[in-house]
Structure 1
């Protein structure tokens, strides 16, 4: 794919690298205050126990898994019955499982990481009353959609800007960049377009290629793709930007085998545990991930369902992504990225439920 022009265009400049690297803890603290303010302003929501389904696009995606864990916690505290379904990255399987979920008659279904358009026709064909639908990364943008009461997500444009800023530094060293995308997902396409635009404004950056590689095939196809890119671009290739950490899961050892310890990886989402572990070690070629507070988002999914059941409007909350680097993780120690956010206590207060016993509290 031809690279866009590297001539700068008239556009807002990305914040400098030091700002992305030093602000995450301040962002976490600001988010704490925002959560507290929102919880105090909203009335308690009281509803009967519900039956809900979490339909995952693919649990090999660490972001989906992390969001599910948060959602599972919230459901346990609400006393809801939760069923879990894994689409294993196959659209036909997801559609079949969605039909089965509809026939089971749950109160709500979470679309975990796949586009609402994949099942839109199934809704039209259903003869049953439809459950409440909420999604995580189920639409290009956060908020309500024609089919979803709420789509929970960070702003993908902000995520992409933060990832690109770690490469596209004014006056920085030359960077030859390959972007890994999965064009099946609208949110991934938004990130990719935004990163391309950022690189085109960087005089020292060259976009070498955009690789369209399905996330579900990354572990199998990544080694061959890296070898091909190495043959094609050689040392012109210095950086990988990817729309998800999954690509980085399969990047390190193939690059070592090619003698390419110099290639730096940055993921525009989602902050999987595997990614955090290798970034924390400081020995990985993945420099950073732009993480979402996935635990908080899992609880938000439960909150959006609860609001719909109570005939209240969506919350309108949009979480702020966090640039995760080795330095930040070492500052956090054994804490998880979103452990500084008091969302559990805030949601318990809002829902008028008591925390679990100290032995079981998260």
Structure 2
């Protein structure tokens, strides 16, 4: 079952959650453990989850893993030992923590994730992983690049920024490479380089990579793809300094508030992001945990990615890319038993 905003330009729509589901189980305490608070997707989905938790009468805490695996493991153990009713893996792989997952299972604590496994849906470690399909995200990002190249008769020479520590990032990167290699609409599409930089170090290392890439590839470098918007947060100045205002940047996730702001302004070299419906996903995280508390099966819903450009943002207006989708009211009805 697919849940989310249909990908269309410039109008978007959202069918909302599937009908049915258990009444809200109140009085729960949830630990949201974030991979890194510098990741705008993680903080955005938590804010939505926090609002959903308020409707359910839950207490939600945000714990920052600071981009370090050791810290994330410590926080998981603290949540288990502190008898949290549920734990959310916010943007880091549950499979990297087998001992903690096993301890939570013994304690009867349900685990859900956001971008916490390679694919959306139930997994060996999680009741359900909330995410879009990484192959669909990659395909949208590459399609935008190819269409731009055809429109402006540009060659396609791509640098990809990724973080190989995460399964979903590896999946997106591989899918982007394959999609580029398979495309023929704009002539041969070349992957010039794959820059493997941890998201937690993107603010310093991504801008620092620009001069070396310009020196190595020169005019061959025409597009940049990245698995997260954070790589483009500080790249405009080094690209301008290198006199490369011609390079177009496109992110294959997640639609951070900073990315949406710079895309909407039209003053950035980031022309698009393939965004997650973060608010909808935050509510789905709450619904999946509620299903686990009620002894029901996971929903199996998978949200669709959203190709966001300046034109889309202008069409949607101040309400944002998820405005008018109706999912909040739909979930509220389900949880109230109406």
Aligned-pair CA distance for 1:125: 5.2
Whole-Å separation in 2 of the counterparts to 1:64 and 1:290:
15
Indicate the residue corresponding to 1:66 in structure 2: 44
For residues 287-319 of structure 1, give each alpha carbon's deviation from its aligned partner in whole angstroms, at most 9, with x where no partner exists: 100001000000000000000000111011111
Whole-Å separation in 1 of the counterparts to 2:163 and 2:105:
33
Indicate the residue corresponding to 2:73 in structure 1: 95
Structure 1 residue corresponding to 2:181, chosen from 186, 189, 200 = 200
| CA separation of 1:94 and 1:238: change in aligned 2, threshold 3 A | same
Describe the SS at the equivalent of 1:160: helix
Gaps spanning 5+ residues in structure 1: where? 1-20, 355-362
Whole-Å separation in 1 of the counterparts to 2:88 and 2:334:
21
Indicate the residue corresponding to 2:301 in structure 1: 317
Q: Say which is worse superposed, 106-115 or 127-136, in terms of deviation.
A: 127-136
Indicate the residue corresponding to 1:16 in structure 2: none
Q: How does 1:8-87 map to 2 (within 5 A)?
A: 23-24=8-9, 26=11, 28-29=12-13, 31-32=14-15, 35=16, 38-39=18-19, 42-87=20-65
Structure 2 residue corresponding to 1:227, chosen from 192, 203, 211 = 211
Indicate the residue corresponding to 1:337 in structure 2: 321
Whole-Å separation in 2 of the counterparts to 1:66 and 1:166:
24
Contact 2:37 2:43 in 1 (8 A): yes
Structure 2 residue corresponding to 1:290, chosen from 263, 269, 274 = 274
Aligned-pair CA distance for 1:22: 8.3
Contact 1:219 1:249 in 2 (8 A): yes
Whole-Å separation in 2 of the counterparts to 1:220 and 1:148:
33
For residues 210-240 of structure 1, give each alpha carbon's deviation from its aligned partner in whole angstroms, at most 9, with x where no partner exists: 1101110011111221111011011111110
Structure 1 residue corresponding to 2:123, chosen from 140, 145, 150 = 145
Q: Does 1:253 align with 2:237?
A: yes
| CA separation of 1:104 and 1:177: change in aligned 2, threshold 3 A | same
Aligned-pair CA distance for 1:25: 5.0
Whole-Å separation in 2 of the counterparts to 1:279 and 1:125:
43
Whole-Å separation in 2 of the counterparts to 1:147 and 1:50:
21
| CA separation of 1:276 and 1:84: change in aligned 2, threshold 3 A | same
Whole-Å separation in 1 of the counterparts to 2:112 and 2:106:
18
Describe the SS at the equivalent of 2:158: strand
Describe the SS at the equivalent of 1:334: helix
Give the count of matched residue pairs.
327
Describe the SS at the equivalent of 1:167: helix
Whole-Å separation in 1 of the counterparts to 2:105 and 2:319:
47
For residues 174-193 of structure 1, give each alpha carbon's deviation from its aligned partner in whole angstroms, at most 9, with x where no partner exists: 11100011000000011000
Please give the root-mean-square deviation of Cα atoms over the aligned residues, in Å. 1.8
Contact 1:289 1:323 in 2 (8 A): yes
Describe the SS at the equivalent of 2:302: coil
Q: How does 1:267-282 map to 2 (within 5 A)?
A: 267-282=251-266
Contact 1:164 1:195 in 2 (8 A): yes
Aligned-pair CA distance for 1:46: 3.5
Whole-Å separation in 2 of the counterparts to 1:226 and 1:120:
37
TM-score (norm 1): 0.87
TM-score (norm 2): 0.93
| CA separation of 1:279 and 1:258: change in aligned 2, threshold 3 A | same
| CA separation of 1:127 and 1:321: change in aligned 2, threshold 3 A | closer
Contact 1:141 1:151 in 2 (8 A): yes
Indicate the residue corresponding to 1:3 in structure 2: none
For residues 77-97 of structure 1, give each alpha carbon's deviation from its aligned partner in whole angstroms, at most 9, with x where no partner exists: 111011210001011110111
Contact 1:95 1:118 in 2 (8 A): no
Aligned-pair CA distance for 1:44: 4.3
Indicate the residue corresponding to 1:132 in structure 2: 110
